[in-house]
Chains A and B, each alone.
Chain A
């Protein structure tokens, strides 16, 4: 409902127009001046994210994508091997980093030196118990079993562009 609350600068061009969407992949050749100043490749993204406040990342865990911002909780319906509560996980398979006007995607994973994404294992609990019944047609035997899967809760500790 509300427009995004950002700085007093003029609102960015509506994102829905693909033509006018600023692209990260430049077709122009890199000038000599640019090469010597050694600007971080994600500087536009960083500045647009208002000091890493408005930044999201799409990372993959067991090849499943999760879109997160800082402080989010991730609910996994399994136990992570060798993880106990309080452990910090360094998530290094990030596919996309995004800010209000820019996104940077690398399908094979962004170079991990460009960003920092960490999660804390907050809780290892279970999902509520429920009953599952399995049976076949024209067979009276009904197999019933209880299901109570484990649930790991991760909290995104830190998400920033280096």
Chain B
């Protein structure tokens, strides 16, 4: 970051084409030595002895009695139907991103734990139920379920509010001191005291107020999942993820952007080992002379139809048909012999019953 570069010893500044300095565009190489964050007061026996690293920053957890006095916290606990084993103090910790203001433990660890849980279950769900999705679309689908923007929306929909009042305002307004434990704390006291001019936004390295807020909400959601795993075990965490995250609808058919669909379909059929070539045939039309003609085109391999579509021109309907054929392949979701959706590895008595995709197609 720009600030840390300035503080260090003989180093050359990297002057990026930042918003504050649009004219200067010189790029100079920088050599940075990794240093531990001084805020965390890390101590170690020697730099290479990684097991001896220890953060000496004093943190303590909120006592349960104080947490119980925070009405928004109790309300959040109840709204999410969290089990009684999930301690309110942990929930308060999930909402805390600060690490130097009041010495309370923050959600970094829980966030990491929740992120791992989420990554596993979301990826498992997508890989098992949509085995033929191309890698880029799979990654986009994972983002759409558990990316920062998605988790930001989820966090907001849970009614988590941000603690924006400064200490002085709290004192003057005689605000209950326990209220803040139920709110999302990521703005430090110093920042809250700063006077905000309307219409002026401070940009530091492209991080906006909105993106900080989104990151904060996302980390709170992940931390709650992490806390649930810690207190109630993996099964409860899995059920929670299924209920809140996997219940969302992914608009998969709108997430594909094809550049050469015909070539791709030809390559795909090659890969699948179809002996007969693809033929695109006009199946029906309203007539060339009709105003607003419609053409129905089908993509065939021998006598089997892979996909069909209606278009207002021959080329359009051909392209749409090819895209439909590709989507029909990529969006396939396997079912078992009884007609149910196949099981995922994390379920009990798991036996592989799906299909394994043959991989992406290169054109």
Contacts and interface: CB of A to CB of B under 8 A. Distances in A.
Contacts of B342: 51
A46 B309 contact: no
A51 B329 contact: no
A101 to B, nearest CB: 14
A5 B324 contact: yes
Interface in B291-323: 304-310, 320-321
A50 interface: yes
Interface stretch (B54-62, B158-166, B188-196, B333-341): B333-341
Given A8-B328, A8-B329, A8-B332, A3 B308 contact: yes
A35 interface: no
A51 B327 CA distance: 18
Given A3-B324, A5-B324, A5-B328, A47 B339 contact: yes
Contacts of B169: none
Kindly state the interface size class of chain B when it binds its partner.
20 to 34
Nearest to A8: B329
Contact of B320 (A2, A7, A51, A161): A2
A11 B305 contact: yes
Contact of B339 (A2, A5, A10, A46): A46
Contacts of A1: 309-310, 320
4 closest A-B pairs by CB = A46-B339, A51-B335, A51-B341, A47-B339
11 contacts: A1-B310, A2-B310, A2-B320, A7-B332, A43-B338, A47-B339, A49-B339, A50-B335, A51-B341, A53-B333, A161-B339
Interface of A: 1-3, 5-8, 10-11, 43, 46-47, 49-53, 71, 161
